[in-house]
Chains A and B, each alone.
Chain A
């Protein structure tokens, strides 16, 4: 069964940075596009960023563009989200999720999520 395990969350002050990781297992990570999606407490789902299998294609939500960077290390089976200039509105549970091989049109497996709290 596909496994995605996020880490790196925590409490951070506004304006500071944080880097999330997502360790993938039980599938060939380098063959799949990957994503970050977040969910503010008590709210709905918000797509954050996507990266293709090779890392050549990257997309961001306007709310994080210029502040967040998505990357991957296929040798380490790991997806990253570097978050800078954090704001209170970035407080959320951050999920990594996989695109299926059929195409980048939906997400087929999700991790359990990691909490990021931005507060002074």
Chain B
């Protein structure tokens, strides 16, 4: 199985600060990487797919990058509504696997 190692597990950011979350895959996943945001008590929402494609309706302050085994999600200018838990997902092989999550809070 492909292991997805996500870091950091938690993060506190000030309003307007730029935030980065990393995901490392245990093998090459060929950019088959998606990022999700889950707010408290809600279902996960798709932010980024194919490593860097922004899902319709997602604010442009969210961006994704990476290739091979290393991927990152960047939030350029933290907003209060960005609080939540962020997960990466690899879609390269079955079983699909998620990262452990990053809890993002507003400082």
Contact = CB atoms under 8 A, between A and B. Distances in A.
A62 B97 CA distance: 12
B71 to A, nearest CB: 13
Interface stretch (A8-16, A21-29, A68-76, A108-116): A108-116
A44 interface: yes
Of the four ranges (under 10, 10 to 19, 20 to 34, 35 or more), the interface on chain B belongs to 20 to 34
A100 B46 CA distance: 11
Contact of B91 (A62, A106, A113): A106
B43 A44 contact: no
B95 A47 contact: yes
Contacts of A45: 36, 38, 44, 87, 89, 98, 101
B79 interface: no
Nearest to B31: A105
Contacts of B34: 105-107
A104 B91 contact: yes
Given A105-B49, A105-B50, A110 B44 contact: yes
A112 B38 CA distance: 12
Interface string B1-19: 1000000000000000000
A45 B35 CA distance: 12
Interface in A53-112: 59-62, 95, 100, 102-112
B96 interface: yes
Interface of A: 35, 44-47, 50, 59-62, 95, 100, 102-113
